[in-house]
A and B are shown apart, each in its own frame.
Chain A
Amino acid sequence: MKLSKRSSALVATAIAAAMLMTACGGSSEGSDEGSTAASGGTFTAYIGEPKSPLVPGNTTESEGAKVISALWTGLVGYAKDGAVEYTGVADSIESDDNKDWTITLKDGWTFHDGTPVDAASFVDAWNYTANPQNAQDGGSYLSRIAGFQELQDGTATELTGVKVVDDHTFTVELSAPFALFPAVVGYDAFNPLPDSFFDDPEAFGTHPIGNGPFKADSDYVPGQGITLSRYDDYAGDDKAKADGMEFVVYADQATAYTDAEDGNVDIVDVIPPDVIESAQTTFGDNFINTEVSQITYLGFPTYDQRFADKRVRQAFSMAIDRAAISKAIFSGTRTPADSFISPVVDGYREGSCEYCTYDVDKANQLLDEAGFDKSQPIELWFNAGGGHDAWMEAVGNQLRTNIGVDFKLQGSLDFAQYLPLGESKGFTGPFRYGWSFDYPAAESYLTPLFTPQSLPPIGSNYAFYENQEVVDLIADGDSAASEEDAISAYQKAEDLIAEDMPMAPLFFTQIQSVHTDHVADVRIDLFQRPVWSEVTVNQ
């Protein structure tokens, strides 16, 4: 998943300026709240412009994913703690060896056009998404399925690992055992597609037909939005409570927030950082704080001579007062990170990252042992336009104060240049990285970031960290017989990573949402999306 920060730094700073000038803290409760809704039972929600057409396999960023989650229901759902629940289309997902899986579907599920959701709806969709010719953003989510690599190489035209058995059953062969496979398939990229998609994928992208609690009433209009209504033949238990909803596209979060203050848009799931404090007074109980899956890291270029020694990396991690930065820069809305596995998934242990505790003396001692040259300044890298300037500077200032190393900020590259630079081992010092899980599992915080098979550009191992023991332990976990065994193996791998410290976890992200009095029961799920079907409308 990617972090979508659409607003440019320019706009963001200006918002701050404008907010200050109008002293926004004292605004009272909206004067004409709740009375503006013309029709009963519908609500509106903010989205930014989706990057891709509204096709589940092609949507990996947050904004399009919000719409997809209203229109589709996947094979499985997730409980509030991330555990797999069979609330979706799958009746069961079973395997004897964690490698060959049989997926059985429930009866009665239909697409919004009335056609049934059967095994072929999944198999065809997966084949389409995984095929590089179709250039689907979510293709890499299917990389565990046997035949994926052949498809990428062009030596196959379909995933050999996926086969339809009958209307309600299909089998999936993985290229290597993976115990947590059921947790993976609840994600958008695994959603089913109706036959009409394959006739005209482009038209489908503007008028998507899913199997979820809401169906599209109108075409998606770029820059404006899309209107949905409840799908009455929905087969799941989580039927939509509201009659309908509308996604309204805003170019700027700040504008959406102001519009919500006036009651013109009901749900704004992410508000700009500079209004967080005033939002708590303005919205009261309608202000929601949710811990989400993202972890912010300070990565270390292990390929660089100065950061090759793990003691140096440990020292840097210990020299950063995470709590102070969270308080000063993020108004306390970041949790100081103390592990490599996020608290939102099973397997998190409080304080599992020993070197994440703030200890200046220990840090200096480690640096002296390692013979680190403090006279040379370090360079701190981050991507431009994502609002990272202030806190990266705070990190630099702390390093200067605590371990006496001067720093230089390198924050002028945007993503298009930042990642390719990291890919070519171009980071000359510690660098910012953010990671959200692909699926709610501890493994999703380990394999993509800390294994040699995930070196960029295929994965996100920008630290170029390699440790065969970690690889073996993750493989043990993947093929473990039970979930407990798997998690204990992953935790052992985490301990090794924590010792080697290729990236220092800094913060667990929380997001802040607001909604108007017009709606209630707004909950944000682990994928940072409001659960649209649960939203009720106050008539």
Chain B
Amino acid sequence: MGRYVARRLLLTIPVLLGASFLIFAMVYALPGDPIRALAGDRPVSPAVVQVLTERFHLSDPLWVQYWEYLKGLFSGDLGTDFRGRPVLDTIVRTLPVTVKLTVVAVLFEIVIGIVAGVLAGIRRNSFFDNFVLVSTTLVVSIPILVLAFLTQLLFGLKLGWFPIAGTREGLYSYVLPGLVLASGSLAYVARLTRTSIAENMRADYVRTARAKGLPQRTVIVRHMLRNSLIPVVTFIGADIGALLGGAIVTETVFNLPGIGREVFDSVKAQEGAVVVGIVTLMVFFFIFFNLIVDVLYAVLDPRIRYD
């Protein structure tokens, strides 16, 4: 197992290098002049444009720019944005916000999604099953943008149960945005769990467990759930990787200064160093959580072995 994990981790290095180059090339290929974007409607003097262009190697060919970036990377320098702020500082500042939001969202996915899925799965075609079916269809079909504004106005402004925006009330500020962010995935988790449970209901091992006279709770939790969770864990693992990439809409509407907003602004401003730094980190998260998922398979299903 240890060797397997080590091999997988080593494999991430070329993947990250390749990904960072691709992102770098894409930012490089964006049309327009980032220096002009910086100044907006106001004209900038040609002398200033020249100074900034040289400082950020903007007129160099792609390979040279990427090499400069890599050189900095190996000495632990992620570069600076056009305002001279180190990219590392930006990540350190924005990542905790996104991590908190992700944790809250994933908790919702796990608690509400799995419980609803299990209940719907074991009581198929019951009222509750149909309720889950309808409500998840509804949630999946509403764009997250609309959902965010709706909940903000309803629960934040009209009812006053949750803060409208910002992080002033600590972790409590993350509850509403976390729920909004989780809504789509939550619906998928519920559906996946339900299908999986429903399938396993008819499995031989469940009948055996029942025949042994095990109580219903033990059959469901110890036997059925554990087997049914494999697709769910795959989904949640991939979802964590995606959520850590930041949620542009949720972070913007609820004014959470997270990494999604940062990368969105940076793409708009063509801040190459920031985009590459953050997106490469996202790629790493994605790979890492997929690895965790693979390891968890072995834990959930003793038949899977990696050595």
A residues in contact (CB < 8 Å) with B:
1-4, 8, 10-11, 14-15, 17-19, 21-22, 24, 27, 31-32, 49, 51-53, 60-61, 132-133, 135-137, 139-140, 143, 152-154, 202, 205, 221-224, 248-252, 254-256, 258-259, 261-262, 264, 413-417, 419-420, 433-435, 456-460
Told that A139-B48, A262-B157 touch, could you supply 10 new A-B pairs with CB distance under 8 A?
A3-B41, A8-B268, A17-B146, A18-B145, A18-B146, A18-B153, A132-B51, A136-B48, A254-B253, A416-B31
Which residues of chain B are within 8 angstroms of A434 by Cβ–Cβ distance? 41
Given the interface pairs A251-B252, A259-B164, the reply to whether A2 lies near B42 with Cβ below 8 Å is yes
User: Is the pair A417, B32 in contact by a Cβ cutoff of 8 Å?
Assistant: yes
User: Nearest CB to that of B94 among chain A residues?
Assistant: A223
From the candidates A3, A15, A459, A460, name the one contacting B149 in the complex (CB within 8 A).
A15
> 14 A-B contacts, Cβ less than 8 Å apart?
A1-B42, A4-B40, A8-B268, A52-B83, A53-B83, A132-B45, A249-B255, A252-B252, A258-B156, A264-B166, A414-B37, A416-B37, A417-B33, A419-B36
- Interface bin, chain B: 35 or more
Nearest chain B CB to A532's CB is how many angstroms away? 21
**Separation of A511 and B164 alpha carbons in the complex (Å):** 24
Nearest chain B CB to A115's CB is how many angstroms away? 24
User: Nearest CB to that of A206 among chain B residues?
Assistant: B85
**Separation of A3 and B40 alpha carbons in the complex (Å):** 7
Which residues of chain B are within 8 angstroms of A137 by Cβ–Cβ distance? 38-39, 42, 44, 48
**In the complex, which residues 90-149 of chain B have their Cβ closer than 8 Å to any Cβ of chain A?**
90, 93-94, 143, 145-146, 148-149
User: Is the pair B36, A255 in contact by a Cβ cutoff of 8 Å?
Assistant: no
Which residues of chain A are within 8 angstroms of B148 by Cβ–Cβ distance? 18
Q: Is B254 part of the contact surface with A, judged by Cβ < 8 Å?
A: yes
Nearest chain A CB to B148's CB is how many angstroms away? 8
**Separation of A256 and B252 alpha carbons in the complex (Å):** 11
User: Nearest CB to that of B52 among chain A residues?
Assistant: A135
User: Is the pair B164, A262 in contact by a Cβ cutoff of 8 Å?
Assistant: yes
User: Is the pair B39, A202 in contact by a Cβ cutoff of 8 Å?
Assistant: no
User: Is the pair B153, A258 in contact by a Cβ cutoff of 8 Å?
Assistant: yes
User: Nearest CB to that of B81 among chain A residues?
Assistant: A222
Nearest chain A CB to B152's CB is how many angstroms away? 6
Given the interface pairs A2-B42, A223-B93, A252-B255, the reply to whether A135 lies near B55 with Cβ below 8 Å is yes
**Separation of A18 and B142 alpha carbons in the complex (Å):** 11
Given the interface pairs A135-B51, A135-B55, A251-B252, the reply to whether A415 lies near B41 with Cβ below 8 Å is yes
From the candidates A255, A435, A457, name the one contacting B253 in the complex (CB within 8 A).
A255
User: Is the pair B255, A60 in contact by a Cβ cutoff of 8 Å?
Assistant: no
Which residues of chain B are within 8 angstroms of A456 by Cβ–Cβ distance? 43
Which residues of chain A are within 8 angstroms of B32 by Cβ–Cβ distance? 413-417, 420
User: Is the pair A2, B157 in contact by a Cβ cutoff of 8 Å?
Assistant: no
User: Is the pair B36, A224 in contact by a Cβ cutoff of 8 Å?
Assistant: no
The number of A-B residue pairs with CB atoms under 8 Å apart is 179
From the candidates A52, A259, A416, name the one contacting B33 in the complex (CB within 8 A).
A416
User: Nearest CB to that of A202 among chain B residues?
Assistant: B84
Which residues of chain B are within 8 angstroms of A52 by Cβ–Cβ distance? 83
**Separation of A537 and B43 alpha carbons in the complex (Å):** 39
User: Is the pair B251, A21 in contact by a Cβ cutoff of 8 Å?
Assistant: no
Q: Mark B47-80, 1 if CB is under 8 A from A, else 0.
A: 1111110010000000000000000000000000
Interface centre among A27, A133, A223 (most CB of B within 10 A): A223
Which residues of chain A are within 8 angstroms of B168 by Cβ–Cβ distance? 264
Nearest chain B CB to A438's CB is how many angstroms away? 9
**In the complex, which residues 160-188 of chain B have their Cβ closer than 8 Å to any Cβ of chain A?**
160, 163-166, 168
User: Is the pair A435, B41 in contact by a Cβ cutoff of 8 Å?
Assistant: yes
Nearest chain A CB to B104's CB is how many angstroms away? 19
Given the interface pairs A2-B42, A21-B146, A414-B37, the reply to whether A31 lies near B166 with Cβ below 8 Å is no
Interface centre among A17, A19, A259 (most CB of B within 10 A): A259
Which residues of chain B are within 8 angstroms of A18 by Cβ–Cβ distance? 145-146, 148-150, 153
**Separation of A14 and B168 alpha carbons in the complex (Å):** 25
Interface centre among B44, B45, B265 (most CB of A within 10 A): B45
**Separation of A414 and B149 alpha carbons in the complex (Å):** 26
Mostly, the B contact residues are: helix
User: Is the pair B41, A255 in contact by a Cβ cutoff of 8 Å?
Assistant: no
Which residues of chain A are within 8 angstroms of B154 by Cβ–Cβ distance? 22
Which residues of chain B are within 8 angstroms of A49 by Cβ–Cβ distance? 265
From the candidates B43, B157, B163, B268, name the one contacting A460 in the complex (CB within 8 A).
B43
Given the interface pairs A2-B42, A132-B50, the reply to whether A262 lies near B36 with Cβ below 8 Å is no
Nearest chain B CB to A440's CB is how many angstroms away? 17
Which residues of chain B are within 8 angstroms of A136 by Cβ–Cβ distance? 48
User: Nearest CB to that of B253 among chain A residues?
Assistant: A255
User: Is the pair A135, B257 in contact by a Cβ cutoff of 8 Å?
Assistant: no
Which residues of chain A are within 8 angstroms of B158 by Cβ–Cβ distance? 27
Q: Is B46 part of the contact surface with A, judged by Cβ < 8 Å?
A: yes
Given the interface pairs A52-B83, A416-B37, the reply to whether A259 lies near B166 with Cβ below 8 Å is yes
From the candidates B38, B39, B43, name the one contacting A458 in the complex (CB within 8 A).
B43
Interface centre among A4, A136, A140 (most CB of B within 10 A): A140
Interface centre among B39, B50, B85 (most CB of A within 10 A): B39
User: Nearest CB to that of A224 among chain B residues?
Assistant: B257
**Separation of A267 and B34 alpha carbons in the complex (Å):** 32
Nearest chain B CB to A204's CB is how many angstroms away? 11
**Separation of A152 and B252 alpha carbons in the complex (Å):** 40
Q: Is B239 part of the contact surface with A, judged by Cβ < 8 Å?
A: no
Which residues of chain A are within 8 angstroms of B90 by Cβ–Cβ distance? 222
User: Nearest CB to that of A454 among chain B residues?
Assistant: B43
Nearest chain B CB to A445's CB is how many angstroms away? 14
**Separation of A3 and B268 alpha carbons in the complex (Å):** 16
**Separation of A459 and B153 alpha carbons in the complex (Å):** 44
Q: Is B191 part of the contact surface with A, judged by Cβ < 8 Å?
A: no
Nearest chain B CB to A66's CB is how many angstroms away? 16
User: Nearest CB to that of B152 among chain A residues?
Assistant: A258
Given the interface pairs A250-B165, A417-B32, A457-B43, the reply to whether A53 lies near B160 with Cβ below 8 Å is no
Nearest chain B CB to A419's CB is how many angstroms away? 6
Which residues of chain A are within 8 angstroms of B265 by Cβ–Cβ distance? 49
User: Nearest CB to that of B46 among chain A residues?
Assistant: A457
Nearest chain A CB to B31's CB is how many angstroms away? 5
Nearest chain B CB to A373's CB is how many angstroms away? 32
Which residues of chain A are within 8 angstroms of B93 by Cβ–Cβ distance? 221-223
Interface centre among A31, A153, A205, A258 (most CB of B within 10 A): A258
User: Is the pair B42, A60 in contact by a Cβ cutoff of 8 Å?
Assistant: yes
User: Is the pair A140, B44 in contact by a Cβ cutoff of 8 Å?
Assistant: yes
Interface centre among B146, B156, B166 (most CB of A within 10 A): B166
**Separation of A310 and B32 alpha carbons in the complex (Å):** 32
Q: Mark B264-293, 1 if CB is under 8 A from A, else 0.
A: 010010100000000000000000000000
**Separation of A32 and B161 alpha carbons in the complex (Å):** 13
Which residues of chain B are within 8 angstroms of A251 by Cβ–Cβ distance? 251-252, 255, 257, 261
